[in-house]
Structure 1
Amino acid sequence: MSAPLIFITGATGFIGSATAVEALKAGYRLRIGIRKKSDKLESILSDHGERVEFVTIPDLAQEAALRGKLDGVDYILHLASPLAQGTDKEAFFGPAVNGTLAVLREAAKVPSIKKVVVTSSIASLIPLIGVPSGGVIREDNDWDFTVDPTADFVDPHNLAATPMTLYRASKLLANNATWNFWKTEKPQYSLVTLHPSFVFGHNPVQSSAEEVQAGSNGILWGSIMGGVPVAGITGVHVQDVAQAHIKALDPKIKDASKYLISGPPTTWKEISRIVHTAYPNVGAKITEQAEGASLPVDTTKAESELGIHWQPWEKIVRSVMDQQLGFLKT
């Protein structure tokens, strides 16, 4: 009897590639949806060639592009997210919402699919105006998560902040659309959403030191080496996120489950101590005077139901530093 088949999107990215590796380690077969051929991903997964197949889907937001690609699939891990930058809100909102809905709708036409796991973000558990005073981020808050997609999200006084605002709005819109689909369409499969905070750790698909700037690892590396941390520091190790996706496929995880995936609380002061103890001679400019701490989160549900034991910050910091320093040496 062949192993269960997972259809996965976003596997050419940081979290997706780590999740693909974790799925193969767990014994699953993979059908990977890609926009274009990825030699890097094929190399990473080369040891599992007989259990991996690739299908080209140029535009995930087009349901027709998915037709036939889900035949025989048991589970879906939807990790693809928009790569938009700048201030074009449609470049954020369109792929985030339409891409997710296309996957959910097409999956509803395939009787073999038992569960769909959608990778969202901690941003979809936080109102666009921020965490209410005294609030703690968790999966079941009754806060106002509505977003007006016609609103003007551009801050003329701080254009640099606009892409993050649009990103947060896109995550809220996509998550709202996901659960509205589930309520109205009542698909035959179970639906689970995962909500990671900033994800850090060894990036399987990173090929050079410069590429760190394109992802979340750039926040940690840049803050450590530049000495000017970006606000607070709420994060989780990529391995915990990858494992959460596989654990979510367990039949014991019920339909309509949502999980906040975020590691232990920390401060930039603590990270400074870790860096200067482990890497005293690399020129890190962060100091123990650096301000900023983790957002208030409650991850009890992920810990108790998914059985996750969070990687400590020392491991998170070391995995990012070791990869970057390794690139710089070569």
Structure 2
Amino acid sequence: MTRVLLTGASGFIATHILDILLAHGHSVRLTVRSADKAEKLIAAHPEHKDQIDYVIVKDIAEAGAFDEAVKSDPPFEVVLHTASPFHFNVKDTKKDLLDPAINGTTGILKAIKKYAPTVKHVVVTSSFASIIHPKEGKWPGKVYSEADWNPTTIEEADSDPTTGYRASKTLAEKAAWKFLEEEKPNFTLSTINPPLVFGPVKPYMQALESINTSNERFCNFLNGKNKEKLPANSGFVWVDVRDVAAAHVAAFEKPEAAGKRFFVVEGSNFSNQQTADIILKHFPEYKDKLPATREENDGFDYLEGGLYTVDNSRSKEVLGLKYHSFEDCVVNTVKSLKELGL
């Protein structure tokens, strides 16, 4: 049994990580922003309640926010840091995105070094946002991998919410690797870099009005917002949340993952038309919520001129990931949203 600290435990990805940690027999401390969220998580795992405790961290951007959270008896061996904002409802880029991402990441690394010397490995949730070169667009012929870094600077972060989000993830991850290089702590680091994360939500933690950003598109399919016409794709590559969760756990359970970034991506492209087709196939009751006319080229609106591809070989070879198919992902996502009343 390994003693693990899981930050941002009520988040979309973290709830799935918790399932795996408990199934693998690990002891887990959760950081959450309210006791109510922690109690819901514990209540959802009654058979594992003796493996879970929690602390409240209301603002991860505050100095010393994690100082008390990292202190434990028995002591921690692993920290999984998933807490970071992912939304585009931004009024102040620095306050809403940059500070929580960057200060939260560096803050927890400082706290671990100072107060939790027993920690041997840290896994940080990063993003494809810190890999992609936004100005290159579709970039035909490009193969994205862990070797790539988003060149966006902090000066460019204020240009729009999407750029601000991408900058926050890039700068936070760079800050983490810089910390290791300069501070030389006792722990090693791995980062997990997923693109759009789809997949089933946990009904006990979610409400339709606060569904995670990437799954909002599925709500729009099911509630008829796209009935007249499907929107153009706002992304081209994806991954199932269950695979992202598995990657976080494998990253500390497999020693060879230390010191590496992992581009956790299914590998194939998706379209909104493909999503609609799968929904119609498995859930015909939503027929009247979907457009009657199919999009040309099955909705793959980026076919002309080509599109970048991705290399997920490291995640499969080192972490042992076996990715869920897009059809399985869509079906299970819809099932979970139906539980919420859609």
- TM bucket (normalised to shorter chain) is 0.7 to 0.9
* Residue of structure 2 aligned with 1:82, choices 80, 85, 97: 85
- Report which stretch shifted further, 255-264 or 65-74: 65-74
Q: Which residue of 1 aligns with 2:282?
A: 278
Compute the RMSD of aligned alpha carbons: 2.2
Q: Which residue of 1 aligns with 2:131?
A: 125
- Report which stretch shifted further, 258-267 or 92-101: 258-267
Q: Which residue of 2 aligns with 1:137?
A: 144
Instruction: Tell me by how many angstroms 1:105 deviates.
Output: 1.2
Q: Which residue of 1 aligns with 2:170?
A: 172
SS in structure 1 at match of 2:119: coil
- Report which stretch shifted further, 25-34 or 272-281: 272-281
Q: Which residue of 2 aligns with 1:55?
A: 55
Counterpart AA for 2:300: E
SS in structure 2 at match of 1:62: coil
TM-score by length of 2: 0.85
Instruction: Tell me by how many angstroms 1:123 deviates.
Output: 0.6
The within-5 A match list for 1:170-209 is: 170-204=168-202, 205-209=204-208
- Report which stretch shifted further, 65-74 or 179-188: 65-74
**2:86–2:213 CA contact under 8 A, matched in 1:** no
Q: Which residue of 1 aligns with 2:300?
A: 291
What is the aligned length? Answer: 317
Unaligned runs of 5+ residues in structure 2 are: none
Counterpart AA for 1:218: E
The within-5 A match list for 1:144-163 is: 145-151=150-156, 153-154=158-159, 162-163=160-161
**1:234–1:295 CA contact under 8 A, matched in 2:** no
TM-score by length of 1: 0.88
Q: Sort the Cα spacing of 1:296 and 1:218 in 2 relative to 1 into closer, same or farther, 3 A.
A: same
Q: Which residue of 2 aligns with 1:157?
A: none
Mapped pair 1:93 → 2:98: yes
Unaligned runs of 5+ residues in structure 1 are: 155-161
The sequence identity of aligned pairs, in percent, is 27
Q: Distance in 1 between matches of 2:308 and 2:213?
A: 20
**Offset from partner CA, 1:197-246 (integer Å, 9 cap, x none):** 1111111154433333x421112442575122433342111111111111
SS in structure 2 at match of 1:193: strand
Instruction: Tell me by how many angstroms 1:152 deviates.
Output: 6.2
**1:276–1:284 CA contact under 8 A, matched in 2:** no
Instruction: Tell me by how many angstroms 1:133 deviates.
Output: 4.7
Q: Which residue of 2 aligns with 1:238?
A: 241
**2:9–2:83 CA contact under 8 A, matched in 1:** yes
Instruction: Tell me by how many angstroms 1:82 deviates.
Output: 2.0
SS in structure 2 at match of 1:147: coil
Q: Distance in 2 between matches of 1:101 and 1:152?
A: 19
